[in-house]
Amino acid sequence: MKGYLGVDVGSVSTKLIVVDDNLNVLTSIYTSTAGRPIEMLQQCLRTIQPDLDSKLEICGVGTTGSGREVASVIVGADIVKNEITAHAIAASHRVPDVRTIIEIGGQDSKIIILKDGIVTDFAMNTVCAAGTGSFLDHQAARLGIPIEDFGSLALKCEEPVRIAGRCSVFAESDMIHKQQLGHSIESIIAGLCEAMVRNYLNNVGKGKDIRPTIVFQGGVAANVGIKAAFEKALDCEIIVPEHFGVMGAIGVAILARDHAKKTGQTKFKGFDASEFDYQVRSFECKNCSNLCEVIQIYQNGELAARWGGRCGRWDTL
């Protein structure tokens, strides 16, 4: 039996998924990157291996997310793809008539506009991460509410209060102020969800042609409060796909399958990759005034990959 591995190493979470030939999800994992991308990735490999049929053979691997380069060295990837394309591919596979993808992850939020399954426009947040998963996490922790309950609490409220959602620090002081005025936790949380959606639509979604069918994915899609706030703001139904949290990984798994079908081979290092010892070292190249930061990855003490130089000097190992 054939399987394809998709890996999405984001700044906040690491996602792994294995699909079969028909792109059914065999197993998936979603954990915190916890600032240690390599270790977490190896741990994920160890965790998913027992879930898989011993006869399953991994015939293709794809990586995405901000840590896609590092991840590709560790697992041995056939496809390394940006997360925008990966999300678009996964969404249009799961919901073929999708026109708009709203994706909110830990530190990124993006909007992708498609026509006939092809990306025609996209935007991603720059310089500001207000209105992303990390922001919600932070506020939930401050209110002492588990992030899992956050959305359902928001749904309990009829009259959300208005929260300043531009900057996470000011949102926090605004929330404290509203608490002091005696508003209920539910109405404050609902207000926060609306503020986040407002912020998203005014920032990332500004000027974009948002049309149904709309798919909402990324970790924050677990939050039913945000989903409801989007439905209210856009006045239409929002689809949250079954595997909303790992859609990027599904996207590259699909690409890996297509690649494997074409070439019939894979660079996958096997689940043993979780046993190797990896070290990342970087240095500042002083050969010219560019002062490039060159990053080197050592596998069991041997140089396995290197990137970061602007000239060709460091291209070959």
Residues lying near another protein in the complex (CB under 8 A) are found at: 66, 81-85, 118-124, 126-127, 206-207, 209, 288-291, 310-312
- Is 313 within 8 Å of 307 (Cβ atoms)? no
Residue by residue, DSSP assigns 61-123 as EEEESTTHHHHHHHHT-SEE--HHHHHHHHHHHHSTT--EEEEE-SS-EEEEEEETTEEEEEE
For residue 116, the minimal CB distance to another protein (Å) is 9
Q: Which residue, 206 or 232, has its beta carbon nearer to another protein?
A: 206
Q: Which residue, 120 or 279, has its beta carbon nearer to another protein?
A: 120
For residue 68, the minimal CB distance to another protein (Å) is 9
Q: Which tokens sit at 90?
A: 């996964």
Q: Is 18 exposed, middle or buried (0-12, 13-18, 19+ CB in 10 A)?
A: buried
Q: Which residue, 6 or 160, has its beta carbon nearer to another protein?
A: 6
For residue 82, the minimal CB distance to another protein (Å) is 4
For residue 311, the minimal CB distance to another protein (Å) is 8
For residue 111, the minimal CB distance to another protein (Å) is 12
Q: Which residue, 182 or 207, has its beta carbon nearer to another protein?
A: 207
Q: Which residue, 232 or 310, has its beta carbon nearer to another protein?
A: 310
Between β-strands 278-284 and 293-299, what pairing exists: parallel, antiparallel or unpaired? antiparallel
Q: Which residue, 117 or 270, has its beta carbon nearer to another protein?
A: 117
For residue 218, the minimal CB distance to another protein (Å) is 15
